[in-house]
Amino acid sequence: MDERYYLYALTWADCPQEGFGPGVDPRFPAELIRCGRLAALTSRVGWDDRDLAKLQEGSADPAWVSKVAVRHHEVVETLARHWSVLPMRLGTLFRSRSSLIAKLAPCEAKAAEFLRRLEDRQEWAAKLYVAAASETIATERTVGRAERAPPFVAANSSGGARSARPTLPYRNPSPRGGDGAEYLAAQVERARRRRQSEAVIRRAIVTVEARLQRMADSWQRLAPLPTALTHRADKMVWNGALLLASSAIAAFQTACGQLGSELAPEGLLLEVTGPWPPYHFAPSLEPPQTVHQRT
């Protein structure tokens, strides 16, 4: 079984070779390999070719990938507590120590420039949720008994009844509107409340971004995560990453506390986590693709 090298992050070459614990393959420790001005935080892995291919293709067993991802982050975070880091994406693998060094040599200048600019800056995450309790209350207010169309049972020629089937609201036979009119009114009210809720969320996002991004050296709006990944009933409606200098963190946390208090009456929750390694701000070390045009 060949031993490959798994790359977690890059840092400065004068970083001490201290204990980073086991790597993603627990049989091998995480260690530093120095290359010019940089050091690569790496570890050997003894996975076979099929494991490697599945990891890189995203087709590996989710439980196994989750364990790899958790350990990947733990190793990177251990380094990031005291040193500037350029984190690598999950599953960055090399066939040998020499191939890893050969890959990093052309990227040294770009990686060093990022580490120099990063200095003491850290990534923080801010997420905006619609509280599950708020959604439930809104639903209870707008989805009442009248909103569900009653089944319509039509009589046949023999006086019996045909199979019950739901009637569309506009086909309700009641001359005075009856439940059909109530259903339509409830639908209109539900649409109005939905538009109102969406407007509140849009205003909240504008407010959060305007107040927080001015404190950050860089920021990114990310895709909201589905509930299957957040493992919570609240619905995420905004997701942001911010790169903050250490001198701005106290003001950032104060602003987040104030925003949270302002948004809570609207049924919105602002969650802030950090610090994180700068995952969303690290540059790609892949060379740009050359585009060939026909003449």
Q: How far apart are CA 129 and CA 234, in angstroms?
A: 6
246-272 pLDDT per residue, tens? 999 999 999 999 999 999 999 999 999
Q: How far apart are CA 76 and CA 57, in angstroms?
A: 22
- Tokens 């948004």 locate to 263
What token pair was written down for 56?
């890189």
- Percentage of the residues of the chain whose pLDDT score is greater than 70: 76
Span 147-176, mean pLDDT? 39
68-85 pLDDT per residue, tens? 899 999 999 999 988 999
Look up the pTM and report it.
0.72
pLDDT reading at 30 higher than 70 = yes
**Residues 167, 179: contact at Cβ < 8 Å?**
no
Beta strands in 65-180 (DSSP E): 86-87, 93-94, 122-130, 151-152, 165-166
Residue whose C-alpha is closest to residue 243's, from 120, 127, 69: 120
pLDDT given at position 250: 94
84-127 pLDDT per residue, tens? 999 998 888 888 899 899 988 898 999 999 999 998 899 999 99
